[in-house]
Structure 1
């Protein structure tokens, strides 16, 4: 009985050590755990811009292929690579240029860019992104793993990067809009 208790204590210590190592690893640059930075607008995002007191300047817009949003009165406003608050400030500044004295603008993302999944899943392709999406949710959306799939590692390429990185495939591995997810074959 005492031997079982000491084994349980050892297992608990290993789990605690693993949790601390994971937390430290998450803080190191290039760590295996994936962190998603602040969301940046990109081509294909659908947004709602509300200009308080100005119905003609309120509406739903799509970030075009050039990275701009074409708005009434002020024309094209650069959106590519900006966070939502940065874009909101850019719209307010454009409206201050001789159109409105003190514009109050609110911006929200209605539809994010899709994500892409390929490799050893039943239905590879393009799928709509939803907030809080994890790799396992993405695999489920694509019909699940094939029988050859490596269910321990995943490769993800961010939309704004040309590099593909390897991550552990856990229930918490996050997906960002525009990501390309690749599920490889397992080796026997």
Structure 2
């Protein structure tokens, strides 16, 4: 009864939609474009970041993100619960695979999420970024995908397993091995 409680009505009218993702998805499945727009607003940064990391370029990643949200709108009626983030990231991963199959291209990653301590120069930062990119390129493809999904996109191991269709144990193993290999490679480049 939001109408009887003006404080709740004002929050909803102010653009701060307090509905849950499943509620918004249900409204979108009934044709509410505004509900779907809110879902896009909530999840676009995650999807764009994930797609950009999977493709290695901003433009290709943005194309995949756009295709992801178009496909999600067309299939919103198939969302049956669970985390909406996992559902939309699964669509993003599948869009990536379709593009990759069509282009038959090698995966290249541009890791932009990094922590830069104080006192570092821009040249140091650029070198670190190149080292991280090289380290990612050295990972086997499955490890790169799992590290991107779980570390960069922030999915849980279970959500990444749902997105890829791979067993949960395989995801955990690829993430652990991939992160360990990245640490080892980056530690070796610091020593040199």
TM bracket, shorter-chain basis: under 0.3
Select the structure that is richer in strand: 1
Q: What is the TM-score normalised by the length of structure 2?
A: 0.23
Structure having the larger proportion of residues in helix:
2
Larger radius of gyration: 1
